[in-house]
Amino acid sequence: MDGLTLASPSAERRTYSPWRETWRRYRRHKLAVVGAFLLLALVAAVVLGPFLWRVAIDDIDFAATLQGPSLAHPFGTDDLGQDLLARMIYGGRISLAVGLAAMMVSVIVGTLIGALAGMSRGALGHALMWLTDLFLSLPQLPLLLLLIYLFRDGLKAVFGPEGGIFILVVLVIGGLRWMPVARLVRAQFLSLREKEFVEAARALGASQARQVIRHILPNALGPVIIAGTIDVAAAIIAESTLSFLGLGFPPDTPTWGRLLYDAKDYLDIAAHWALFPGGAIFIAVVSINFVGDGLRDALDARKVI
């Protein structure tokens, strides 16, 4: 009757709902909590910023070029006297949106391929894993540069200069980062599909689609959420790298990477111009990585905290 005493309400340890339990585990990782707050602050600043700081991003003022931080321009100005705070708020929207959208692409593609490979028992699974390994050994940045360069003009004509590049950057970054998710999902599926609860569902006559959607997938999501979080950071870095190399968004779109690219020739006289966008990329990426680390502690049910 040991099991009964543990489950009885008089037991010392209280039981929580799964979400509260997850939050309790997450809270114990101090830096993850700090990261979550930093991230929320950054998102709030980028979303609400344009309503509070009403300076145009392309307001040219030759009387105030390359100025350091001041009351009129808290983050200083660039070589055309444009306000850097306003430009960074605008660029932050693009960077975070690219990060989120590219993460969605990679998670959706990775989950689909991983689930197919995990459920099939024949040649399809092997072929998909060979494809995954092939993509893993592609040199990603060269290929990214190549694809952006080749297809930029075509998409620009259809969706406009910013929209076209946005779609292209998101699809290409997401399309080159799904492999870790696919591997994780496949590994989870291989072990979960043999578990008793899935067998029970099968015995009750559940179709394969129902087994996957209702029983296997929800249990495989933990590692996918963690990988997805890290993917947002990686996508932000990838987008900034493209912009920094001059092959990302059009020159008049101030993404954080583009601001750094423009600033790098003025390092000796206007260091603030490079430090603010670089610092913003760093804060976004480090806080997302810490959140991912906290989620790893919180979602891994085998780990006792």
Interface contacts to other proteins, rule CB under 8 A: 31, 133-134, 136-143, 145-147, 149-151, 153-154, 233, 237, 240-241, 244-247, 257, 260, 263-264, 267-268, 271, 274-275, 278, 281-282, 285-286, 289-290, 293
Q: Give the residue with the Cβ less far from other proteins, 90 or 244.
A: 244
Rounded to whole angstroms, how far apart are CA atoms 10 and 13? 9
CB of 199 to other proteins, least distance (A): 31
Q: Give the residue with the Cβ less far from other proteins, 64 or 283.
A: 283
Q: Give the residue with the Cβ less far from other proteins, 47 or 134.
A: 134
DSSP codes, 10-41:
TSSSPP--HHHHHHHHHHT-HHHHHHHHHHHH
CB of 156 to other proteins, least distance (A): 11
Q: Give the residue with the Cβ less far from other proteins, 95 or 253.
A: 95
- In sign, the C-alpha dihedral spanning 137, 140, 144, 150 is negative
Q: Is residue 277 a contact partner of residue 260, using CB atoms and an 8 Å limit?
A: yes
Q: What is the DSSP letter of 249?
A: S
CB of 195 to other proteins, least distance (A): 25
Rounded to whole angstroms, how far apart are CA atoms 238 and 254? 16
Tokens of 246: 């001059």
Q: Is residue 269 a contact partner of residue 66, using CB atoms and an 8 Å limit?
A: yes
Nearest Cα to 132, choosing from 150, 152, 112? 112
CB of 107 to other proteins, least distance (A): 19
Q: Give the residue with the Cβ less far from other proteins, 212 or 274.
A: 274
Rounded to whole angstroms, how far apart are CA atoms 8 and 268? 70
CB of 137 to other proteins, least distance (A): 5
Using alpha carbons, list the distances in angstroms from residue 133 to 112, 128, 162, 183, 251.
Answer: 16, 9, 33, 9, 36
CB of 1 to other proteins, least distance (A): 34
Q: Give the residue with the Cβ less far from other proteins, 172 or 212.
A: 172
CB of 204 to other proteins, least distance (A): 39
DSSP codes, 159-224:
H-HHHHHHHHHHHHHHHTS-HHHHHHHHHHHHHHTTSHHHHHHHHTT--HHHIIIIIIHHHHHHHH
Q: Give the residue with the Cβ less far from other proteins, 162 or 293.
A: 293
Q: Give the residue with the Cβ less far from other proteins, 216 or 273.
A: 273
Tokens of 109: 């593609």
CB of 264 to other proteins, least distance (A): 6
